[in-house]
């Protein structure tokens, strides 16, 4: 099953229910080498579900940078549903986490 690392709205119960139809259980982890910033979301469905226009986004940073979040084990179908939730501001990549796990992460689109 795929692993998904979330540092933002996919950690919210309401977003999980609206995106996956269930609440996810996860474990805390850290994404090294990336830094948090924000992005303005204009897609009305995403704004309605998350309840906010300004979302977090990660970009490559310094070696000392790190982003805290949660790792979720999801199905391949749920990964596709997550792709549908995320806007074109994001792209999905697989990255190593501090725990040694590799997980999909939505980062700033290139």
DSSP letter string over 35-83?
A: EEEEEE---HHHHHHHT-SEEEEEEE--TT-EEEEEEEE--HHHHHHHH
Per-residue pLDDT of the chain (110 residues; tens, 9 = 90+): 899 999 999 999 999 999 999 999 999 999 999 999 999 999 999 999 999 999 999 999 999 999 999 999 999 999 999 999 999 999 999 999 999 999 999 999 98
For residue 110, the model assigns a pLDDT of: 84
User: Regarding the domain delimited by 3-108, which CATH topology (the fold level of the hierarchy) does it fall under?
Assistant: Hypothetical upf0131 protein ytfp (3.10.490)
Rounded Cα distance between 33 and 61, Å, is: 5
Chain-centroid distance of CA 55 in Å reads: 10
Q: What is the pLDDT of residue 95?
A: 98
Q: Which one, of 40, 103, 32, lies nearest residue 72 by Cα?
A: 103
Which residues, 6+ apart, have CB-to-CB distance to 22 below 8 Å? 16
């Amino acid at each position: 099953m795929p692993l998904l690392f979330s540092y933002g709205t996919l950690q919210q119960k309401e977003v999980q229910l609206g995106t996956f139809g269930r609440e996810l259980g996860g474990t805390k982890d850290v994404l090294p080498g990336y830094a948090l910033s924000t992005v303005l979301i204009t897609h009305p469905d995403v704004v309605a579900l998350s309840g906010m226009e300004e979302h977090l986004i990660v970009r490559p940073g310094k070696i000392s940078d790190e982003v805290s979040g949660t790792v979720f084990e999801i199905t391949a179908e749920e990964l596709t549903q997550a792709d549908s939730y995320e806007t074109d501001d994001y792209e999905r990549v697989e990255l190593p986490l501090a725990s040694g796990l590799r997980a999909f992460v939505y980062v700033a689109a290139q």
